[in-house]
Amino acid sequence: MQINIELNGQETAIECEAHETLLMVLRREGMSSVRFGSSTGETGASAVLFDDLLASSEVILAAQANGHSVVTLESLNTDSSLHPVQAAFAATGAMQSGYSVGAMILGTLQLLKETPDPSEIEIRDMLSGILDRETAYVKPVAAVKQAAAVLRGEEPEPFRPLILKPMTDGVNAVEVDPDDSPPEASDAIPRLIPSSEVPSTSVVGQPEVKVDAVRLVKGNPAFTADFDIRGLLHAKVLRSPHAHARITSIDDSEALAIPGVHAVIHHENINRIKYASGGQSYPNPKPHDQVSFDNKVRHVGDRVAAVAAETPQIAEEACALIKVEYEVLPAVFDELDAGNPDAPVIHDEVDTVDIADRDRNLVHQIFAERGDVDSALQNADRTYEQTFRVHQVQPAPIEPHISTAWLDSDERLVVRTATQVPFHTRRMLAPLVGMDIKDVRIIKPRIGGGFGAKQEMLIEDIVAHLAIATRQPVQLELTRAEEFYASRTRHPQTLTYRTGVDSEGNLVAQELKLVGNTGPYGTHGYTVQTVAGLRGLSSYNCDNKRFDCDVMYTNIPVPGAYRGYGAPQALFGLEAHMEDIALDLGMDPIEFRRQNWVKVGDEMNIAPHLGEQGTTEEELDEYPKVMSNGIEECVAQGSRAIGWHRRHDESWKNPVDRTHIRRGLGFAFCMHGTSIPFLDMGGCSIKLNDDGSFNMLVGATDLGTGADTVLGQIAAEVLGVPLEDIRVYSSDTDVTPFDTGAYASSTTYISGTAAKKAADVVRTRLKERAAMLLDIEIPCSIELRDRRAWAPDGRSVSLEEIALDSLHLNEQEQIMGTGSHVSPDCPPPFAAQFVEIEIDIETGQIEIIKMVMAVDCGVAINPVTASGQVEGGMLQALGYAHCEEIVLDDKGAMVNPSFGPYRIYRADEMPKTEVFLVQTMEDSGPFGAKAVAEIPKDGVAPAVRNAILNATGVRIDELPFTPERVHRALKGN
Amino acid sequence: MTKIISYQRPENLEEALSLISQDKHVPLAGGTQLNTNEDTEPLHLVDLQSLALKGIASSNGKLKIGSMTTLHEIMKNSDCPDLIRLSSRSELPSTLRTLATIGGTIASGDSDSQLIASLLVHDAEVTILNSSDGELSVPLQEVLIKPEGLESELIISIDIATDGKSLLEATGRTPADTPIVSVAARRCSDGDRMAVTGVAPTPVLVDPENPTVSLQPPSDFRGDSEYRIHLVKILASRALDLLNGEK
């Protein structure tokens, strides 16, 4: 059928099918800013102005749009300039991945047309239909306000951090005056507390606009789905309806007979090659317990077969026609049941080796001990034991997993894919498709959020197999439901802490026993639980520590990497446990922690014994030490901002006008890591161009985190140029240097140091060439700044002149440098997490009123993107604590695989959020930087738990804090 | 998604009635539910957008809302009672309420619909058109419990009372969550009304003095039956207190 729509002001005739949505035809018309988030429209990534109103185009049939007007973000892109709304979104850091920014900008246009000076409630209501896992909506709200001001003709304030005076000397605690309150500022503005130890810089430390801002804010092609390829086929995956079953027969003949179907692949026609899908360094942790297609399925949603066809609909129809017979087997879901004698053996195949105890579904046993825990517990004045249970959640990036594979002109395999680990993917994929690594190229374009779910070779092998089978390009995009139950999730765990304390309140022994649930495949099962042990036993000084962990196979959807990587689970237990011990001892919870937490110079005494590079005590010369720690300043700033003194104010906690409400405040001490020492590696190369600008190639993977920007800032600082003179290209295995990828809070620290090293090489050569031009004998006396090389006597030569001279005129050469970095250190960032809650004691409903996180991430290379990381991390952490959960029925099928039933926070219900960046100088990091991306995931759940305790006296040691669970706890059952 | 075989857009009610009386032909309102339905049964869609069923008008102390009026339009209309406007906003987020209609919301009969509960306490009467009886005015609660649904019938409009004081109390996982249970209540000159969501296959009217009588709520992961009954008691009591001006 033909429809006629007014598309961006132009009458447009479009051919379409009755079943096609407006989203499908708009994308076919080249509107790349309109993006898929879920077929039910809740993500809003596909929203357009439909008859001047914001509406999700994936729930509108194209036929319904006949005769209507449709406006997309492309309507603003009339020339190279930015519309004021686009400019505001770029200037305020409102985009991280920018996947849904088109919808946000269109919504802003509509809102401001009706309401030039909207209230925050109106802005948040407009944003309520656009889900965002990255910004926590804080900076998008600021962007709308700034755009409104500009359109009203006002001059907005530059978007910069609010500089606050330190409240401490950086070492000692202070008593916070209850009458003291921090200066007022928008939530979106990061509060920056500078350190006198940090040298002055020009580009580093500045709130630079992201280097990919124009591409994102205009909705230009940027993401995997945005790039057209001629002859593209679409893949769909037939998935298991059973949690555990053997495939006894599979018949694809009817599926292959459908016109438009090009290939069907399954275990009978794809080679059986073992691998582990976790995107990790070589050699991938064992066991290698997966194959592309198996004759056994181990969770509901596991792969059975895949189809490549000319349309997604044909592929889906073909999947339905594949006849599969199953021998259904018993299944087990709880990690505590998985080792029982009557539990089914999930990996009974002979070709999976290196399982600790196959018959008990025990994948790994992990053990590490310092000192003598048993003896110390026996001699402790008091001992405490407490068990916690944490649940399964999904990272829920708004862009689902998507990959496109094709054979290029040289018949090499190219995969453009939404991945956090392009280099690992290349290495892992090549053997599965029978190719050499040199014949595989992985390209990572922009990614619409990853958060760990994309630290996995999840679907690249499927599209690669199909592209090779059909010799045509093939694309697979997961549905939202598949993203929930067939991608990756956070590991459920049962954690038991035992702690011994002496009469002075000092920890003398601490043990964490952990049973981790890795689902049906090992993937990140070893490393996530290891990090849980590492993070769960590193925050506090104690001579005797022990981690004792069993990692179990079960039949739940596969857990894997999720931002925080074991730390959110462990710190929920640890920070709840420490709170309860403090209260039992009659001590102030912060004071008790302070007495025990690690300080500058203290050893991290269990860290070397855990992890992929774990060592024994005998192998070590010395233990790593904490070299920077700003926690006292964090506690002071956070206490003041949350009004910590109110925690004992009974009149505040029990409001007389709302008798069913109790108020409480909660705290958690957070310590994370920065990269994996001796393992994470990043590379960078930089070359000089004719005009004095630079091309910078990095293997690092920007997920929307701003990595390209931050690495560019580091290079610009070294080279004495503005950020705009550094053109960054990242993550293409044919072109850029190697990088382990975006995980383990490593990019700024590891890849940033690689960028700094590469820039140092270029800088040295630039100075030597400048010395030639300026006739100076000592090149090291030359300084680079303001795009020029300056001699001590005040003479200078521009970088452009150096470039033209070196490329064209004298002793020609390409000035370029490479750098790579691996670190022996893992400097911990620290943070103080505070929350304020209200709890309805009659219904169990909790409302989070305010979240404050004060973070010591060393020097924030870009305070706007760094604070954005903290805001988004807290949003996800809040979901973990409060409302997100994967719920399975008794057969192992997920009952809530869509947004709504799986509840993630919307813009119109977010608590107030404030971020403080407390500077410290971490000498091992580039310009003093440590990590910031994962620590915001660690403290919200325990802080909310401790706030419930403060409000009601009730302890809840299981997540999430849904109304029914809280109600039952309040009732004592 | 729904397997859609054909799409038609009738220009008048007669044509629409004729189309929807055919096998597998269903009326399409905003599309937020039908177009996203995972049921793979093939359907012919009959789009009602050209039937002039949009609009909000006052008559005889009541408000008539055309069935194709969107929740966004209701939310923005100052003639609508505050509760109806508020519930239209709470029902769906910004990018879906511009499409979803009041008629479609009623046709879905969603157990969790705060808008339906609010309409129930505002004495909503639904004007239904079918080819044998012509236009009929039916109380909303009877439309919701019709076992055969609205097959071969069109919702034309909804009349609601606008007098009295009305409000809604709810408990959800987060402030904007679809409530586990919500209680809408209204007080006017001839007494109180109360409707509850999350306790039956559709929102239901209950006795304000004894709101849990005969309720047998289903259990799910957000709340079991016993907890839902508990919530009805608490929220109903609060709603009455608020109507009494006690809080």
Span A699-732, pLDDT tens digits: 999 999 999 999 999 999 999 999 999 999 999 9
Q: Which of A965, A970, A948, A171 has the alpha carbon at shortest distance from A579?
A: A948
User: Is beta strand A507-517 parallel, antiparallel or unpaired with respect to B134-139?
Assistant: unpaired
Average model confidence (pLDDT) for chain B? 94
Q: Which of A94-98, A255-259, A674-678, B53-57 has the lowest mean pLDDT?
A: A674-678
Residue B164 contacts residue B188 (beta carbons within 8 Å): yes
Q: How far is A584 from A543, CA to CA, in rounded Å?
A: 22
**CA nearest to B181 within chain A:** A843
pLDDT average, residue stretch A297-305? 98
> Cβ of A41 and B177 within 8 Å?
no
**CA nearest to A2 within chain B:** B7
Q: How far is A745 from B50, CA to CA, in rounded Å?
A: 55
> Cβ of B222 and A18 within 8 Å?
no
Nearest-by-Cβ selection for B96 from A41, A845, A909: A41
ipTM of predicted assembly, 2 dp: 0.97
Which helix or strand (DSSP H or E) is residue B107 part of? helix B102-108
- Contact list in B for residue A107 (CB cut-off 8 A) is 94-95
- Largest CA-CA distance found in chain A, in angstroms, rounded: 84
pLDDT in tens, A829-858: 999 999 999 999 999 999 999 999 999 999
Specify the pLDDT at position B175. Answer: 97
**CA nearest to B182 within chain A:** A843
Q: How far is A171 from A205, CA to CA, in rounded Å?
A: 23
Place of tokens 């940033």: A752
Q: How far is A203 from A720, CA to CA, in rounded Å?
A: 9
* Nearest chain A Cα distance for residue B163, angstroms: 27
- pLDDT band per the 50, 70, 90 thresholds, residue A590: very high
DSSP string over A540-559: B--S-EEEEEEEE--SSSPB
∠A215-A217-A219 over CA atoms, to 5°? Answer: 65
* Nearest chain A Cα distance for residue B200, angstroms: 18
> Cβ of B174 and A882 within 8 Å?
yes
- Contact list in B for residue A59 (CB cut-off 8 A) is 31-32, 35-36, 96, 99
Nearest-10 Cα torsion for A896, A899, A900, A905? 130
Residue A674 contacts residue A746 (beta carbons within 8 Å): yes
**CA nearest to B3 within chain A:** A19
The contacts of residue A960 (CB under 8 Å, 6+ apart) are A391, A880, A881, A882, A883, A884, A885
> Cβ of B94 and A107 within 8 Å?
yes
> What are the DSSP E strand ranges found in A487-529?
493-501, 507-517
- pLDDT band per the 50, 70, 90 thresholds, residue A615: confident
The yes-or-no verdict on residue B129 having pLDDT over 80 is yes
Residue A634 contacts residue A174 (beta carbons within 8 Å): no
> Cβ of B36 and A40 within 8 Å?
yes
> Cβ of A56 and B95 within 8 Å?
yes
Q: How far is A857 from A425, CA to CA, in rounded Å?
A: 30
Specify the pLDDT at position B247. Answer: 57
Q: How far is A497 from A508, CA to CA, in rounded Å?
A: 13
pLDDT in tens, B63-79: 999 999 999 999 999 99
**CA nearest to A896 within chain B:** B221
Partners of A171 in the β-ladder: none
Q: How far is A48 from A5, CA to CA, in rounded Å?
A: 13
- Contact list in A for residue B31 (CB cut-off 8 A) is 59-61, 64
> Cβ of B36 and A50 within 8 Å?
no
- Contact list in B for residue A900 (CB cut-off 8 A) is 178
Chains A, B: CB contacts within 8 A come to 136
Q: Which of A347, A554, A393 has the alpha carbon at shortest distance from A487?
A: A393
Q: Which of A424, A420, A426 has the alpha carbon at shortest distance from A281?
A: A424
> Cβ of A18 and B6 within 8 Å?
yes
The yes-or-no verdict on residue B244 having pLDDT over 90 is yes
pLDDT in tens, A803-832: 999 999 999 999 999 999 999 999 999 999
Nearest-10 Cα torsion for B12, B15, B18, B19? -100
The yes-or-no verdict on residue A235 having pLDDT over 80 is yes
Specify the pLDDT at position A561. Answer: 97
Specify the pLDDT at position B145. Answer: 85
Specify the pLDDT at position B31. Answer: 92
The contacts of residue A156 (CB under 8 Å, 6+ apart) are A88, A146, A149, A150
The yes-or-no verdict on residue B1 having pLDDT over 70 is no
Domain ranges of chain A: 2-77, 190-197+574-598+627-672+827-973, 225-329+396-485, 336-392+491-556, 681-822
Specify the pLDDT at position A612. Answer: 65
> Cβ of A128 and B93 within 8 Å?
yes
The yes-or-no verdict on residue A636 having pLDDT over 70 is yes
Domain with CATH 3.30.390.50 in chain B: 165-243
The contacts of residue A170 (CB under 8 Å, 6+ apart) are A195, A630, A632, A633, A920
- pLDDT band per the 50, 70, 90 thresholds, residue B3: confident
The yes-or-no verdict on residue A613 having pLDDT over 80 is no
Q: Which residues of A3-13 are buried (b: 16+ CB within 10 A; e: fewer)?
A: bebebbeeeee
Three-state DSSP at A407 gives strand
∠A440-A446-A450 over CA atoms, to 5°? Answer: 90
Q: Do domains A190-197+574-598+627-672+827-973 and A681-822 have the same CATH topology?
A: yes
- pLDDT band per the 50, 70, 90 thresholds, residue B193: very high
Specify the pLDDT at position A711. Answer: 98
The yes-or-no verdict on residue A395 having pLDDT over 70 is yes
**CA nearest to A44 within chain B:** B95
Residue A103 contacts residue A130 (beta carbons within 8 Å): yes
CATH of region A225-329+396-485: 3.90.1170.50
Q: Which two tokens stand for residue B202?
A: 């559709």
Angle between helices A138-151 and A120-127 (to 10 degrees): 120
> Cβ of A963 and B172 within 8 Å?
yes
Class of domain A336-392+491-556: alpha beta
pLDDT average, residue stretch A175-195? 94
The contacts of residue A325 (CB under 8 Å, 6+ apart) are A247, A248, A249, A250
- Contact list in A for residue B72 (CB cut-off 8 A) is 53
Write the CA distances from A250 to A197, A255, A272, integer angstroms: 67, 11, 16
The CATH fold of domain A2-77? Ubiquitin-like (UB roll) (3.10.20)
- Contact list in B for residue A842 (CB cut-off 8 A) is 234
Specify the pLDDT at position A481. Answer: 97
DSSP B80: S
> Cβ of A125 and B94 within 8 Å?
yes
Q: Half-sphere exposure (CA, 13 Å, Cβ side) for A695? A: 11
Specify the pLDDT at position A187. Answer: 96
Specify the pLDDT at position A157. Answer: 87
CATH of region B56-161: 3.30.465.10
Nearest-by-Cβ selection for A845 from B36, B171, B221: B171
Specify the pLDDT at position B182. Answer: 98
- pLDDT band per the 50, 70, 90 thresholds, residue A933: very high
Residue A947 contacts residue A836 (beta carbons within 8 Å): yes
The CATH fold of domain A190-197+574-598+627-672+827-973? Aldehyde Oxidoreductase; domain 4 (3.30.365)
pLDDT average, residue stretch A65-81? 97
> Cβ of B176 and A39 within 8 Å?
no
Q: Which of A224-228, A329-333, B30-34 has the lowest mean pLDDT?
A: B30-34
The phi, psi pair for A425, rounded to 5°, reads -60, -40
Give the architecture-level CATH label for domain A681-822: 2-Layer Sandwich (3.30)
The contacts of residue A403 (CB under 8 Å, 6+ apart) are A224, A415, A416, A417, A418, A419, A459, A460, A462, A463, A475, A476
- pLDDT band per the 50, 70, 90 thresholds, residue B39: confident
Residue B155 contacts residue B209 (beta carbons within 8 Å): no
The yes-or-no verdict on residue A970 having pLDDT over 90 is yes
Specify the pLDDT at position B33. Answer: 87
The yes-or-no verdict on residue B219 having pLDDT over 60 is yes
* Nearest chain A Cα distance for residue B165, angstroms: 21
* Nearest chain A Cα distance for residue B167, angstroms: 17
The CATH fold of domain B165-243? Enolase-like; domain 1 (3.30.390)
pLDDT average, residue stretch A734-762? 95
The contacts of residue A220 (CB under 8 Å, 6+ apart) are A32, A33, A77, A214, A226
The yes-or-no verdict on residue A879 having pLDDT over 70 is yes
The yes-or-no verdict on residue A218 having pLDDT over 80 is yes
Q: How far is A104 from A88, CA to CA, in rounded Å?
A: 12
Share of chain A above pLDDT 70, in %: 100
pLDDT average, residue stretch A230-235? 97
Q: Which two tokens stand for residue A6?
A: 């007014």
The contacts of residue B242 (CB under 8 Å, 6+ apart) are B167, B169, B185
pLDDT in tens, A1-49: 999 999 999 999 999 999 999 999 999 999 999 999 999 999 999 999 9
Q: Which residues of A829-848 are buried (b: 16+ CB within 10 A; e: fewer)?
A: bbbbbbbbbbbbbbbbbbbb
Q: How far is A24 from A21, CA to CA, in rounded Å?
A: 5
Share of chain A above pLDDT 90, in %: 96
Partners of A914 in the β-ladder: A852
- Contact list in A for residue B35 (CB cut-off 8 A) is 21, 59-61
Domain with CATH 3.30.465.10 in chain B: 56-161
> What are the DSSP E strand ranges found in A382-488?
382-390, 402-407, 413-417, 440-443, 474-477
**CA nearest to B49 within chain A:** A64
- Contact list in B for residue A896 (CB cut-off 8 A) is 221
Amino acid at A835: V
- Contact list in B for residue A63 (CB cut-off 8 A) is 7, 9, 45, 47
Q: Which of A252, A254, A331 has the alpha carbon at shortest distance from A293?
A: A252
> Cβ of B32 and A41 within 8 Å?
yes
pLDDT average, residue stretch B212-231? 97
> What are the DSSP E strand ranges found in A320-381?
323-328, 362-370
> Cβ of A129 and B95 within 8 Å?
yes
- Contact list in A for residue B4 (CB cut-off 8 A) is 18-19, 61
Specify the pLDDT at position A110. Answer: 98
Nearest-by-Cβ selection for A903 from B72, B98, B177: B177
* Nearest chain A Cα distance for residue B183, angstroms: 13
Specify the pLDDT at position B38. Answer: 74
Write the CA distances from A826 to A597, A604, A939, integer angstroms: 17, 10, 20
> What are the DSSP E strand ranges found in A91-201?
162-163, 191-193
